[in-house]
Amino acid sequence: MSHPFKPWLALAMQTIPLNDLRRHNAGCNEEFITVASRVLDSGWYVLGENVASFEREFAAFCGVAHAAGVGNGTDALELALRALGVRAGDHVVTVANAGMYTASAVRSVGARPVFVDIDAESLCVDVDGLEGVIAAGPAAIVVTHLYGRLAEIERVVELASSHGIPVVEDCAQAHGASRGGRKAGSFGDIGCFSFYPTKNLGALGDGGAVVTSRDDLADRLRQLRQYGWTSKYVAQTPGGRNSRLDELQAAFLRVKLRHLDQWNAARRAIANRYADGITNARVSVPARMEADSVAHLYVVRTDDRDGLREHLRQAGVSSDVHYPVPDHRQPCMRDDFASVNLPNTEHACDHILTLPCFPEMTSEEVQSVVDACNSWQP
């Protein structure tokens, strides 16, 4: 007896990965080897010409005056808060559905996170919900551009500016996202980026950057990333630490930065194929994406996440959850935030599921993911 061909079954023995860094980096390998050799030959491995050049190039890419390379994205957030003068006991407003990275940075400076709920559709900060907490006079607001989608950052900046509150953009998932000719990191006082290998612009190790157009903040950030030095061995700025982007990673990032817009376009194309092709009523997909999203993660929602995950696994499709536990319910936080209720945040964390989305996915792989989602019949 013959059976109709099901493309999603054909790849069941060849699992489609959530991401594939070997494929992603393969096209740059020869350039990586060349620039790595130059770094080795230079004898200068930390805060040298490659870091300085990358900082200039990345600042220009983001449309800001300054970029300072640091050790990783969480350091970027912590140093940004310190540069803005956030101190122990201050309050910092943020969301609770972004993996605890911002909350960790806030607690590292001794401040207390104040969580606001998210918009049920975009999963980014609900700007209307900011009104109540801003009246209490927080020291800063951190806006996360989650999954590569720009939040309503213009409204946040306008609201915060009217109260004299600085805005930090968490751009760890939004390299290159743009709206109205402005890119992520250029709207607020400071933008923070991660170059973790899985990011849209990822290093071959760890790294991060802080961007700003304010000269005073740029000077302070460069001091804070290196012990608070104002000159060699003179630590004048309190709160400094050792958090520096190294020459090798800067050299790799300079190579990859030239390809970023092309990679982002490929991610959006995949995301829009999903948006058009996944028609299963039990799987809710994001709206089609424009320039204000770089599709870092493609996150759907369903009322039976475990069932869909198992179906995808059997079909050879990887998946993950970004992120299953909201910050205010984390074991290390929940006692301090037991009375906090964020209904949209909590609902999203229970229903989200991430599908494969990376620039090197083949057309056949994308179609197999679509077919697997559509064939799910719980």
Is the pLDDT at 3 greater than 50, yes or no?
no
Q: What is the mean pLDDT of residues 44-71?
A: 97
Q: What integer pLDDT is reported at residue 154 of this predicted model?
A: 98
Q: Please, which pLDDT band fits residue 11 given cuts at 50, 70 and 90?
A: very low
pLDDT 10s digits, 193-223: 999 999 999 999 999 999 999 999 999 999 9
- pLDDT greater at residue 3 or residue 189: 189
Asked whether the predicted pLDDT for residue 2 surpasses 90, the reply is no
| Residue 319 or 11, more confident | 319
**Last residue of a domain, which of 257, 283, 313?**
257
| Residues of the domain holding 66 | 29-257
Is residue 78 a part of any domain in this protein? Answer: yes
Least confident of 149-153, 234-238, 278-282, 360-364: 234-238
Residue 170: which of 224, 106, 264, 122 has the closest Cα? 106
Question: E-assigned strands of the chain?
Answer: 66-70, 91-94, 112-115, 140-144, 167-170, 178-179, 182-183, 190-194, 208-212, 229-231, 234-235, 298-301, 352-355
Domain membership flag for residue 317 = yes
Share of the chain above pLDDT 70, in %: 97
Tell me the percentage of the chain whose pLDDT exceeds 90: 95
**The model's pTM:** 0.95
d(Cα 54, Cα 34) in Å, to the nearest integer? 16
Say if CB 114 and CB 135 are below 8 A apart. Answer: no
Mean of per-residue pLDDT scores for the chain: 95
pLDDT score recorded for residue 12:
47
Q: What is the pLDDT of residue 6?
A: 52
d(CA 129, CA 141): 13
- In angstroms, rounded to a whole number, what is the distance separating the alpha carbons of residues 59 and 65? 6
| 231 domain residue, yes or no | yes
Q: What's the confidence (pLDDT) of residue 13?
A: 54
Number of domains forming the structure of the chain:
2
- Which sign does the torsion angle of CA 299, 300, 306, 311 carry? negative
Q: Are residues 214 and 308 both part of a single domain?
A: no
Together in a domain, 248 and 107: yes
- Tell me 318's DSSP state: -
Q: Which of 242, 257, 272 is the last residue of a domain?
A: 257
pLDDT digits (tens, 9 = 90+) for 138-167: 999 999 999 999 999 999 999 999 999 999
pLDDT at residue 5 tops 70: no
Q: Quick: pLDDT tens for 302-328.
A: 999 999 999 999 999 999 999 999 999
Window from 3-7, 70-74, 78-82 with minimum mean pLDDT: 3-7
The pLDDT confidence band at residue 378, using thresholds 50, 70 and 90, is confident
* pLDDT higher than 50, residue 47: yes
Residue 10 lies in a domain: no
* pLDDT at 135 (0 to 100): 87
38 domain-assigned: yes
Mean pLDDT of 67-71: 98
- Mean pLDDT of all residues in 285-295: 98
From 257, 288, 323, the end of a domain falls on: 257
- Tens of pLDDT, residues 86-144: 999 999 999 999 999 999 999 999 999 999 999 999 999 999 999 889 989 999 999 99
Considering the domain boundaries, does residue 156 fall inside one? Answer: yes
pLDDT of residue 211: 98
246, 279: one domain: no
Q: Is residue 17 part of a domain?
A: no
Q: How much is the pLDDT for 264?
A: 98
> Omega of the bond prior to 227 within 30 degrees of 0, cis?
no
For range 37-62, the mean pLDDT: 97
